[in-house]
Amino acid sequence: MKEKILQLLYDAEAYISGEEMSHTLGVSRTAIWKVINQLKSQGYEIESVTRKGYKLINAPDLLNKEELHYDLHTDFIGQEIHTYETLGSTNQEAKKLALEGLRDGTVVIANEQTAGKGRRGRSWVSPPGTGIWMTLLLRPDIQPQHASMVTLVAGLAVCEVIREVTGLEAEIKWPNDIVLNGKKICGLLTEMNSEIDYINFVVIGIGINVNVAEFPDELKGIATSLLLEGGQTYERKVLVKRILERFEKYYKLYLETEDLSHMIDAYQEHCVNIGREVRVSRKNEVLIGTVKKVSDKGELIVIDDKGDERLIHSGEVSVRGIYGYV
Amino acid sequence: MKEKILQLLYDAEAYISGEEMSHTLGVSRTAIWKVINQLKSQGYEIESVTRKGYKLINAPDLLNKEELHYDLHTDFIGQEIHTYETLGSTNQEAKKLALEGLRDGTVVIANEQTAGKGRRGRSWVSPPGTGIWMTLLLRPDIQPQHASMVTLVAGLAVCEVIREVTGLEAEIKWPNDIVLNGKKICGLLTEMNSEIDYINFVVIGIGINVNVAEFPDELKGIATSLLLEGGQTYERKVLVKRILERFEKYYKLYLETEDLSHMIDAYQEHCVNIGREVRVSRKNEVLIGTVKKVSDKGELIVIDDKGDERLIHSGEVSVRGIYGYV
């Protein structure tokens, strides 16, 4: 009901009367009036003029179902959205929901995370109201060994949308960060629950520092936000919807071939690793080399100091010039 | 304490007096007497003779900590064992314990499963007291894409131990069954919880039909037990301990190379697929061919009808002559 009234307000050219809304939705004018007041108390600026009706002047940047469903054009990604004021971590909640059987494409999003996680249990700072802290739940019918590429698919979608919405030149740091001027603006954390040859589910956590105004001292050198780089705030809800749409587009292409062949050019265009010196830490060795490209399978192809091509599937990758590797 | 008294009884050449036990363990003779009574009520046959002491005549085939730890020679597999009278499923319990942080090598074992599971959620019949329904919790520091081989490692261990303990000619049906005279005697279900390049944990469920006397009609054609094939009952506790030991031996070799190179000959020796016609069902095709061998990476190498080698990573595999594929 709130979603429908909000939609009428958004869609109205100018004023829309309480009577018209009451008629369209088949509810009393008192019911309409109650919801309008509710919206106002949530921060919506709604002008009421006698004999003309209501007009939406300004909407707050809320990440609630009503806002996120309005003007979202996807088939299944985000068609079911679970929103929370506060969560420990959106990945944790999404995994719990996945075990309860929630559908492919469900999105979990929180205004604040109190125990946000990066890779290998590292913590991720997620202050309230300033960022996008969300997780996509997916149930792809593909081989588990092809699942790691989904992180690159999500990274590409986030990078492109940040560039389009903000005009800032975001780049992808393979495999799971987005950077801006050499500092981290977004981190991705993909987790999988699988049998040998069957994926039960995948969750992709996406954390984007949108309007974070300040970072703790220990993060200042390596993390930044769209606000700090762009000098203005950005609407989180707009970014979320455009990311879900772009992700769905690339994800469908990826499921067709179970690789990145349909999007590898776009990926490489924005991949900061290409042509740069990288240092790859693995269990038993440290490899230093220059990145030639990213393969259709999502591997990093590195030329080592002997001139040999090396295929990097994973591992900790530092790029010279980024996060203090100089 | 019960474990220690049981160990003294097992280790005694003939009779051991209450006084000696009381002295060795530093507890009162009354305490000893209480435990002896407890053991008797659990089904242990213990003879007591005045002035000689106690003698263990016969021990029931119980899967409890005391029995499983006695005479178990491993470094870490099964050093922590959680035993249950009844569980929904041992994999489910092991996954829960894994999330709580339980250690590498922990074993979960139940006398009965009420909701035992096979691959892709199929049900697995696990009547009380007649089989081995257990799960190994592992935390291997290897790449997730190498983890599927651990099923083959476990299959080899189970197959060899069944052959040695019972003399029956068990064979491995790649990738996750053990068969006897063309019927299933054991199923393995491996599940993984991982990040892209990091395994949180793996659980391997092992279900062995040891002393199952009869199967439901719909399973009679495809399932059997050691009892039905061997014409006698077998001690589950002995099988469990020998399997844990053998698994640990092969698992260590597998972790060294992250492949099966150190055990592939033993594997192939018992692999029923080799040289047989197989039908492999995959998402978009059905492949019929003859199995040439199993690779060091655990893949099935199949020669198709054009004479080309095809690498099978996974999928549903039927072997001609087994489970009604004739």
User: What amino acid is encoded at A123 in this protein?
Assistant: S
Which pair of tokens denotes residue A153? 């698919």
What is the rounded distance in angstroms from the CA atom of residue A199 to the CA atom of residue B192?
Answer: 10
SS3 A56: strand
Give the least confident one: A153-157, A218-222, A246-250. A218-222
Interface ipTM:
0.76
Rg of chain A (C-alpha set): 22
Shortest distance between the Cα of A308 and any Cα of chain B, in A, equals 23
Average pLDDT (A153-181) is: 97
E strands, B196-239, in order: 198-209
Query: Which chain B residue lies closest to A191 (C-alpha atoms)?
Result: B195
Q: What is the pLDDT of residue B205?
A: 97
- 3-state helix/strand/coil string of B116-176: CECHHHCECCCCCCCEEEEEEEECCCCCHHHCCHHHHHHHHHHHHHHHHHHCCCCEEECCC
| Residue A217: exposure state from Cβ atoms within 10 A (0-12, 13-18, ≥19) | exposed
Query: Which chain A residue lies closest to B203 (C-alpha atoms)?
Result: A195
Q: Do B120 and A151 touch (CB under 8 A)?
A: no
Q: What is the pLDDT of residue A20?
A: 93
Asked if B88 is an interface residue toward chain A (Cβ–Cβ < 8 A), one would say no
Higher-confidence residue of B117 and A269: namely A269
What is the rounded distance in angstroms from the CA atom of residue A259 to the CA atom of residue A296?
Answer: 6
The residue of B89, B195, B257 whose CB has the most chain A CBs within 10 angstroms, and thus the best one to mutate to test that interface, is B195
Task: Say whether pLDDT at A283 is over 80.
Answer: no
What is the rounded distance in angstroms from the CA atom of residue B99 to the CA atom of residue B203?
Answer: 12
DSSP 8-state symbol, A307: S
What is the rounded distance in angstroms from the CA atom of residue B228 to the CA atom of residue B214?
Answer: 8
Which residues from chain A sit within 8 angstroms of residue B198, using beta carbons? 119-120
Which pair of tokens denotes residue B191? 């599940």
SS3 A221: coil
The residue written with tokens 């092992």 in the block is: B206
Average pLDDT (A222-228) is: 96
Helices (H), ranges, chain B = 2-11, 18-25, 29-41, 65-69, 90-99, 149-166, 217-220, 226-230, 236-257, 264-269
Task: Say whether pLDDT at A326 is over 70.
Answer: no
What does the pLDDT look like over A185-206, one tens digit per residue?
A: 999 999 999 998 889 999 999 9
- 3-state helix/strand/coil string of A166-206: HCCCCEEECCCEEEECCEEEEEEEEEEEEECCEEEEEEEEE
Q: Do B191 and A193 touch (CB under 8 A)?
A: yes
Q: What is the pLDDT of residue B123?
A: 85
Q: Do B195 and A190 touch (CB under 8 A)?
A: yes
> A160 and A261 in contact (C-beta within 8 Å)?
no
Asked if A14 is an interface residue toward chain B (Cβ–Cβ < 8 A), one would say no
- Where are the domains positioned within chain A? 2-58, 65-270, 277-319
Angle at A321 between CA A319 and CA A322, to 5 degrees: 65
Shortest distance between the Cα of B176 and any Cα of chain A, in A, equals 10
> B88 and B114 in contact (C-beta within 8 Å)?
yes
- 3-state helix/strand/coil string of A98-144: HHCCCCCCCEEEEEEECCCECHHHCECCCCCCCEEEEEEEECCCCCH
Instruction: Of B24, B10, B1, B23, give the one whose Cα is nearest residue B54.
Output: B10
Q: Do A197 and B314 touch (CB under 8 A)?
A: yes
Q: Do A313 and B197 touch (CB under 8 A)?
A: yes
Whether a cis peptide bond, with omega within 30° of 0, leads into A175 is yes
Q: Do A191 and B195 touch (CB under 8 A)?
A: yes
Task: Say whether pLDDT at A308 is over 90.
Answer: yes
What does the pLDDT look like over B59-111, one tens digit per residue?
A: 999 999 999 999 999 999 999 999 999 999 999 999 999 989 999 999 999 99
What does the pLDDT look like over A42-55, one tens digit per residue?
A: 999 999 999 999 99
CATH of B65-269, one of 3.30.200.190, 3.40.50.300, 3.40.50.2300, 3.30.930.10: 3.30.930.10
* CATH class of this structure's domain A277-319: mainly beta
What is the rounded distance in angstroms from the CA atom of residue A115 to the CA atom of residue A118?
Answer: 10
Q: What is the pLDDT of residue A197?
A: 82
Q: What is the pLDDT of residue B326?
A: 59
| Overall fold of domain A65-270 | BirA Bifunctional Protein; domain 2 (3.30.930)
Give the least confident one: A5-19, A307-321, B29-43, B185-199. A307-321
> B312 and B304 in contact (C-beta within 8 Å)?
no
Q: Do A198 and B119 touch (CB under 8 A)?
A: yes
| Residues of chain B predicted below pLDDT 70 | 283, 315, 324, 326
Asked if B217 is an interface residue toward chain A (Cβ–Cβ < 8 A), one would say no
| Overall fold of domain A2-58 | Arc Repressor Mutant, subunit A (1.10.10)
Q: What is the pLDDT of residue B320?
A: 83
Which pair of tokens denotes residue B284? 């978009």
The fraction of chain A above a pLDDT of 70, given in percent, is 98
Q: How many CB atoms lie within 10 A of CB A181?
A: 13
Which pair of tokens denotes residue B235? 């001690």
